[in-house]
Amino acid sequence: MNVQYMKRALALARIGAGQTSPNPMVGAVIVKDGRIIGEGYHAFYGGPHAEVNAIENALEDVEGAEIYVTLEPCSHYGKTPPCALKLIEKRFSKVYVAMEDPNPLVAGRGIQMLRKQGIEVEVGLLEEEARALNEVFLKYITQKKPFCVLKAAMTLDGKIATVTGESKWITSEASRAYVHQLRHELRAIMVGIGTVLADDPALTTRLEDGNGRDPVRVIVDSRLRIPLEARVLRNKSLSPTIIATTDKADPDKATALQAMENVQLIITPEKDGKVDLDYLMFVLGEQGIDSLLLEGGATLNASALESGIVDKVMMFIAPKILGGQNAPTPVGGKGIEVIEKAVQLKAMKVVPVGEDIMVEAAVVGRLLAKE
């Protein structure tokens, strides 16, 4: 039965997706005499934590109860008081923790605090599921760089457009809705200047209920070729547009862009004549951007894999065949010469999405290194 309670806590945590960044998603379930008497989750950044919400929602006194929490209760004062102290104050008998918090400010201290006060703590129940839930937080809190998801839509024969460049729409409406949910949940979206010039995208979030959060838009444009009338510069979104460029860009164009409302320039070092993506990730992390959806074309995707910034790939595959030797594929660049240097993937999952399938996998290797 313990597993079912933690599964419920994980499901509750998931409700906060897209709202808690850069904090983790956390759920909590309070059980007394074999009954669930309280539930809660971290609903938004800066708001009460899951344990506090579960206690406030409890149907009866929680003294002597057990609580199932998907992440170690915090032990420090941040935007809210320590949850570990709250559990001690309310005299819980036992705390089940799915995983220890990797945040250096916590890192086992919450568990230690509870045990010192005589509260039994069990750690590791559904830990793998808890780590998967908060993969974004785990990277960001330890490396201070965004968790990067490379997304691509393609045909069964691996084409992202026809030989004439037509790409709307390769995948189904269900897949496109799924991607807009990703835009809502991840903090930023990144494309290359080629995508902007070809499609003039808005890069906003469009969910059925209209409540989606727009991601920060990041445009990789080493020479500032972006038109001043581009939609990403002119839309009314509350989220800013960041243009990553180099010092080789036209200074007059840079001045004009910096004068625009809600537009920011990041100047990175050059790497092979392009924006240094690893440096860009460092700067974005400094700005509190914990996650990034890469919706680039073949050139940017190849650069991202080669730079080693990609953590996960999500490939949406439509039941269509386009053919064409020169039709573009998701990853361009020079390619690799020997199989042993290929990008290695693990933990692959295949999920039906409408009439398409989505293949998701974690990246464990990187593209052919520069000689």
Q: Are strands 66-69 and 270-271 parallel, antiparallel or unpaired?
A: unpaired
The answer on whether 130 is annotated among ligand-binding residues is no
User: Which of 229, 236, 245 is CA-nearest to residue 214?
Assistant: 236
Beta bridge partners of 66: 31, 94
C-alpha to C-alpha distance for 188 and 144, rounded to whole angstroms = 15
Q: Has 100 been annotated as catalytic?
A: no
Q: Is 101 annotated as a binding residue?
A: no
Q: Is 83 annotated as a binding residue?
A: yes
Q: Do the annotations mark residue 74 as ligand-binding?
A: yes
The answer to whether 302 is a known ligand-binding residue is yes
Catalytic residue (choose from 39, 51, 72, 185):
51
Sheet harboring 147-155: ordered strands across? Answer: 263-267, 241-245, 216-220, 188-192, 291-294, 147-155, 312-318, 356-363, 345-353
> Is 153 known as a binding-site position?
yes
167 marked as binding residue: yes
237 marked as binding residue: no
301 annotated binding-site participant: yes
> Strands (DSSP E) along the chain, which ranges?
27-32, 35-41, 66-69, 94-97, 120-123, 147-155, 188-192, 216-220, 241-245, 263-267, 270-271, 274-275, 291-294, 312-318, 345-353, 356-363
Is 49 annotated to bind a ligand? Reply is: yes
What single-letter DSSP state applies at residue 340?
A: G
188 phi/psi in degrees, rounded to 5: -145, 160
Contacts of 283 (CB under 8 A, 6+ apart): 266, 268
Cα radius of gyration (the chain): 23
- Choose among 208, 214, 238, 186: nearest CA to 25: 186
Q: Would the annotation count 199 as a binding residue?
A: yes
Establish whether 148 is an annotated binding residue: no
* 166 assigned binding-site residue: no
Task: Determine if residue 347 is labeled as part of a ligand binding site.
Answer: no
Binding residues for NADP(+): 153, 169, 195, 199, 222, 297-303
Binding residues for Zn(2+): 49, 74, 83
Residues serving a catalytic function are 51
Binding residues for substrate: 167, 183, 203, 206, 295
Binding residues: 49, 74, 83, 153, 167, 169, 183, 195, 199, 203, 206, 222, 295, 297-303
